[in-house]
């Protein structure tokens, strides 16, 4: 039987040894067309979308930040639609994973306010006229996000009548159950006493809090803390809290930049944002806590 051979020590490499280490493999730098990264990410499209209308340097910050916000709206809508479909199929793990990812994305979205929140009134006024009648209130993707939260109104489609594809997407979203609708239907299938009137409601209308739904969440939170219903409730609460923080950060940024002046697009500005900031997302999840 052969005896094991003793291992040989590695020869030293590097300066002064006479033996240089093998150079690392160099990345491929020569492509016939555009780079694979560009083909996939479309970075040159993204970085050439900015067309400032003034000479004020703050406008570039405003443009890029709001475009980044639109991208975050897009991915959050994707996550909540994924979660809604999963709940419809009683696939809680997929729904929970999508909701969890969306909390990280909401945190990144909320951080987008920082560059805008530190514009002084004079700096904001340096390019404000370039916005004309433009307002974030007109964002179609943000409207889809709000629809998924249950904040619906057919009147919100009116600004998009001139863009048929966008209008059709919003109309479809208006008539689909919200994320909260799907969560309540899921609770009903788990055996919780969600009223039939809630299941049968017109999902194209704004969700209105229901005392019976509050009692359902009260029972969920008073029961097994590791139940599927309780875990779902906490995931939805985390989403709701971050949406509330988004609204408050929007309010603070606007108040710092323009005070109580009328907002762009003719909105009430700070006054309208203050009213929005008082509204709870998934309301019974918050009120039920007072009774547990």
- Long-range contacts formed by 169-176: CB under 8 A, 24+ apart: 169/140, 169/144, 170/140, 170/143, 170/144, 173/143, 173/144, 173/147, 173/148, 174/147, 174/204, 175/203, 175/204, 176/84, 176/147, 176/203
Are 187 and 194 in contact by the 8 Å Cβ rule? The answer is: yes
Reading the block at residue 238, the tokens are: 């985390």
Annotation-wise, does 250 bind a ligand?
Answer: yes
CA–CA separation, 230 vs 274, rounded Å? 31
Annotation-wise, does 82 bind a ligand?
Answer: no
CA–CA separation, 181 vs 147, rounded Å? 11
Strand-pair partners of 19: 14
267, 156, 65, 244 alpha-carbon torsion, rounded to 10°: 80
Annotation-wise, does 128 bind a ligand?
Answer: yes
Please give the annotated binding residues, written as ranges: 128, 250, 264
Please give the annotated binding residues for heme, written as ranges: 250
Please give the annotated binding residues for substrate, written as ranges: 128, 264
């Amino acid at each position: 039987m052969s005896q094991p051979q003793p291992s040989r020590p590695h020869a030293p490499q590097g300066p002064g040894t006479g033996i240089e280490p093998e150079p690392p493999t160099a990345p491929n730098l020569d492509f016939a067309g555009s780079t694979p990264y560009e083909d996939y990410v479309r970075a040159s499209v993204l970085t050439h979308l900015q067309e400032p209308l003034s000479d004020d340097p703050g406008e570039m910050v405003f443009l890029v930040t709001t475009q980044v916000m639109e991208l975050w709206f897009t991915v959050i809508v994707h996550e909540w639609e994924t979660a809604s479909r999963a709940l419809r199929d009683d696939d809680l793990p997929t729904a929970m994973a999508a909701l969890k990812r969306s909390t990280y994305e909401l945190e990144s979205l909320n951080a987008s306010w920082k560059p805008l929140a530190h514009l002084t009134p004079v700096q904001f006024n340096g390019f404000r006229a370039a916005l004309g009648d433009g307002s974030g209130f007109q964002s179609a993707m943000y409207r889809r996000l709000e629809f998924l939260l249950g904040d619906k109104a057919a009147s919100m489609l009116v600004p998009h009548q001139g863009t048929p594809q966008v209008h059709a997407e919003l109309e479809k979203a208006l008539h689909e159950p919200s994320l909260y609708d799907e969560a309540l239907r899921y609770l009903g299938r788990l055996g919780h006493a969600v009223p039939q009137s809630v299941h049968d409601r017109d999902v194209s209308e704004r969700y209105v809090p229901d005392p019976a739904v509050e009692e359902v969440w009260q029972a969920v939170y008073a029961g097994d803390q590791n139940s599927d219903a309780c875990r779902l409730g906490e995931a939805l609460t985390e989403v709701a809290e971050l949406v509330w923080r988004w609204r408050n950060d929007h309010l603070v940024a606007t108040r710092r930049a323009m005070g109580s002046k009328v907002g762009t697009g003719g909105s009430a500005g700070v006054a309208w944002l203050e009213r929005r900031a008082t509204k709870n997302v998934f309301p019974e999840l918050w009120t039920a806590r007072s009774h547990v």
